[in-house]
């Protein structure tokens, strides 16, 4: 309570003094030290510099969140950096270990594919019905180029998802940053009216890909529709179908991750296409955190709806005082609201009872994930750059 008493509330943002912000940032400093400099961490020069830079970056952003009261602005810096540095580290690793960005079919069959969280929803039905993992990565610890096995990845994802819900898509996903950067670039959206039915796109892609994966016993999304294959790894095309698949990856990346975000100022891939995002939305029901609208304070100016990069607010949902199921908890609406009506909320507590405390609780959980998961990816990207520069 003392913390909030000293804090100054401006709109929805709570601005704090330097000392108070430093104190609130200390737990994240300790967590970052554990993540980046734990016993057994690489000790070569490039790795140490990369870990130090990443730690400073993550801690500084958290401090700024505490100091300014803004969430979205600083989270976006991290998220865009994550989106840009992931391909740097990943492509280098692919070329270093495999000699190419292309995956030959025999490599996939041998289970030497780095595991990605995207096909998790498509693994469940085939695994339940046939005890078969249709993703071609190995289930044991040594599987995949990254060394992380499917079981470890699924376990990690599940634990974090139960707490954060679709917050995963704003604090951990290494794909969304590029389009968030693109969406932030223009001052105004060229396309402002988007048919609300496009919000159902991710569910349609999810349904289609789950059914096709089950029918083909192949990860259909990875083989046909993943836009991020264009900046990570592609199928080593040896026939017309392979060429078609790679062409689709490039077209989808160009359209959904570059052109449409520039035109709409929205994360179009995340909000209209990503099947993992749809699946992740379900866990917004289990997550203890959500964003609520204080209907007494709200004058429906729709600033929140305009600011939301994932189209997770509609006039109807604002009238109900809540976001849509697809909310990624990025904080854009909370920061944009001029009347402080958008608030972080812990389920089971009174709405708007203590929004800043709810924000702090959420941010500690979300940023801990960001440091652990995204931080390691950032460090790998920086290490790769250092490898070429130093």
Partner 1 sequence: MGEALVLGLVSGPACIAACGPVLVPSLLTERAGLGAHARYLAAFLAARLMGYLVFAVVAWELGALVSLLRAPRMPLVGAVYVLLAGVLLWYAWAARRRCARACAGQALVQISENNIETKQAGGLAGAAALGLLTGLNLCPPFVAAGIRAAELGSLGAALLFFAAFFVGTSVWFFPFAGLSCVARSEAVTTVARMAMALIAVWYLAMGIAMLLGRRVYGY
Shortest Cβ 312–partner 1 spacing (Å): 10
Residue 300 contacts partner 1 per CB under 8 A: no
Shortest Cβ 112–partner 1 spacing (Å): 18
Residue 139 contacts partner 1 per CB under 8 A: no
Which 8-state DSSP code applies to residue 349?
S
Shortest Cβ 205–partner 1 spacing (Å): 7
Which residue from 95, 244, 247, 254 is in contact with partner 1, where contact means CB under 8 A? 244
DSSP strand E in 245-341: where?
Answer: 289-293
Residue 246 contacts partner 1 per CB under 8 A: no
Return the residues of window 301-340 that contact partner 1 according to CB under 8 A: 314, 316-317, 324-326
Residue closest to 175 by CA, chosen among 43, 298, 285, 276: 276
Residue 196 contacts partner 1 per CB under 8 A: yes
Residue 208 contacts partner 1 per CB under 8 A: yes
Q: What angle do CA 10, 14, 19 make, to 5 degrees?
A: 130
Judge whether 190 and 264 are in contact, CB under 8 Å.
yes
CA 245 vs CA 85, 174, 236, 237, 259: distances in Å: 25, 22, 10, 8, 20
Residue 129 contacts partner 1 per CB under 8 A: yes
Residue 239 contacts partner 1 per CB under 8 A: yes
Which of the stretches 6-14, 15-23, 226-234, 239-247 binds partner 1 when contact is defined by CB under 8 A?
239-247
CB atoms within 10 A of CB 215: 10
Residue 60 contacts partner 1 per CB under 8 A: no
Residue 211 contacts partner 1 per CB under 8 A: yes
Q: Residue 99 half-sphere exposure, CB side, CA atoms within 13 Å?
A: 3
Looking at beta carbons only, is 54 or 281 nearer to partner 1? 281
Length of the chain: 390
Residue 214 contacts partner 1 per CB under 8 A: yes
Query: How do strand 102-103 and strand 13-15 relate by DSSP bridges?
Result: unpaired
Helix, strand, or coil (residue 136): coil
CB atoms within 10 A of CB 331: 26
- Residues forming the site for partner 1 (CB under 8 A): 105, 126, 129-130, 196-197, 199-201, 203-205, 207-208, 211-212, 214-218, 220, 224, 239-241, 244, 281, 314, 316-317, 324-326
């Amino acid at each position: 309570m003392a913390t909030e008493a000293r804090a100054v509330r401006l709109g929805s943002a709570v601005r704090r003094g330097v000392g108070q912000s430093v104190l609130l940032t200390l737990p994240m400093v300790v967590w970052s030290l554990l993540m980046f400099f734990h016993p057994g961490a690489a000790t070569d020069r490039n790795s140490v510099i990369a870990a130090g830079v990443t730690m400073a970056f993550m801690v500084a952003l958290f401090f700024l969140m505490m100091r300014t009261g803004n969430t979205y602005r600083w989270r976006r810096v991290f998220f865009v950096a994550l989106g840009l540095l992931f391909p740097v580290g990943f492509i280098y690793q692919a070329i270093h270990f495999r000699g190419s960005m292309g995956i030959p079919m025999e490599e996939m069959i041998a289970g030497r594919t780095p595991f990605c969280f995207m096909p998790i929803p498509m693994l469940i039905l085939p695994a339940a019905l046939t005890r078969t993992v249709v993703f071609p990565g190995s289930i044991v610890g040594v599987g995949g180029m990254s060394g992380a096995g499917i079981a470890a990845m699924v376990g990690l994802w599940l634990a974090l998802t139960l707490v954060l819900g679709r917050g995963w898509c704003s604090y951990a996903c290494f794909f969304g940053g590029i389009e968030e950067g693109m969406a932030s670039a223009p001052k105004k959206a060229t396309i402002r009216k988007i048919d609300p039915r496009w919000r159902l796109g991710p569910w349609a892609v999810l349904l289609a890909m789950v059914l096709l994966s089950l029918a083909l016993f192949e990860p259909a999304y990875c083989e046909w529709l993943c836009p991020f294959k264009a900046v990570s790894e592609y199928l080593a095309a040896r026939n017309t179908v392979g060429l078609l698949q790679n062409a689709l990856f490039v077209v989808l990346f160009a359209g959904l991750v570059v052109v449409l975000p520039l035109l709409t100022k929205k994360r179009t891939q995340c909000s209209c296409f990503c099947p993992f995002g749809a699946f992740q939305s379900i866990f917004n029901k289990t997550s203890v955190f959500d964003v609520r609208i204080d209907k007494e304070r709200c004058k429906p100016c729709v600033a929140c709806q305009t600011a939301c990069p994932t189209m997770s607010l509609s006039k109807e949902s604002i009238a109900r005082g809540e976001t849509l199921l697809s909310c990624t908890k990025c904080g854009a609406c909370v920061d944009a609201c001029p009347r402080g009506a958008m608030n972080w909320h812990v389920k089971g507590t009174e709405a708007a009872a203590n929004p800043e405390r709810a924000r702090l609780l959420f941010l500690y959980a979300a940023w801990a994930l960001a440091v652990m998961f995204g931080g390691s990816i950032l460090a790998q990207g920086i290490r790769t750059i250092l490898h070429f520069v130093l």
